[in-house]
Structure formats: C-alpha cells, structure tokens
C-alpha cells in the first residue's frame, strides 16, 4: 500500500473517521454527505491505492490498513 498523499483530502477525512469506528451512515451525517457519496470515497481510495481486484469490499481492508499504519493519513 502507499502513503496517504495519493488520496484526496476528503478520502483521507472519510478514512480517518472510519478508522475511528464510524459507519458509512455516521460518516455521511457528520460530513453532511449522502451515504453513497461516502461509499464512493472509499472506492476511490481503494482504486488509488491499487487494491482493485484484491477484495470485494474496501471498507474493512482500508480501515485495517489505516489502523495498522500501512496507510498514513494527513
């Protein structure tokens, strides 16, 4: 995986909240976004990090990478 510099500021924000245990819905409410927009940010981050095809669901994989320090944000 790669450094957070490849991610947009919004992707970093969404991933940071997710790594703190927020659900897609909670992130959407906190940031004033639609839940699907939050999911789109996850998929965008997933693709930017070169994880396409490795997993079907980006949420657990990316959150785990943030928590373990494989991805650094901000």
Task: Give yes or no for a contact between 11 and 44, defined as CB atoms under 8 angstroms apart.
Answer: yes
- Which whole number is the average pLDDT over 43-58? 72
Indicate whether 74 belongs to any domain: no
Residue 67: predicted pLDDT: 77
Task: Give yes or no for a contact between 73 and 7, defined as CB atoms under 8 angstroms apart.
Answer: yes
Least confident of 41-45, 51-55, 61-65: 51-55
Indicate whether 42 belongs to any domain: yes
Indicate whether 72 belongs to any domain: no
Collapse the DSSP code of 12 into the 3-class scheme (helix H, G, I; strand E, B; otherwise coil) and give the result.
helix
Task: Give yes or no for a contact between 45 and 62, defined as CB atoms under 8 angstroms apart.
Answer: yes
Residue 27: predicted pLDDT: 96
Q: Domain of 17: which CATH number?
A: 1.10.10.10
Residue 25: predicted pLDDT: 96
Indicate whether 11 belongs to any domain: yes
pLDDT at 28 over 90: yes
pLDDT at 56 over 80: no
Expressed as residue numbers, the domain containing 16 is 4-67
Indicate whether 13 belongs to any domain: yes
């Amino acid at each position: 995986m790669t450094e957070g510099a490849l991610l947009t500021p919004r992707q970093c924000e969404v991933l940071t909240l997710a790594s703190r245990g927020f659900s897609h819905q909670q992130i959407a409410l906190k940031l004033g976004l639609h839940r699907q927009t939050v999911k789109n940010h996850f998929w965008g981050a997933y693709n930017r990090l070169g994880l396409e095809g490795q997993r079907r669901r980006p949420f657990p994989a990316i959150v785990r990478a943030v928590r373990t320090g494989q991805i650094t944000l901000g």
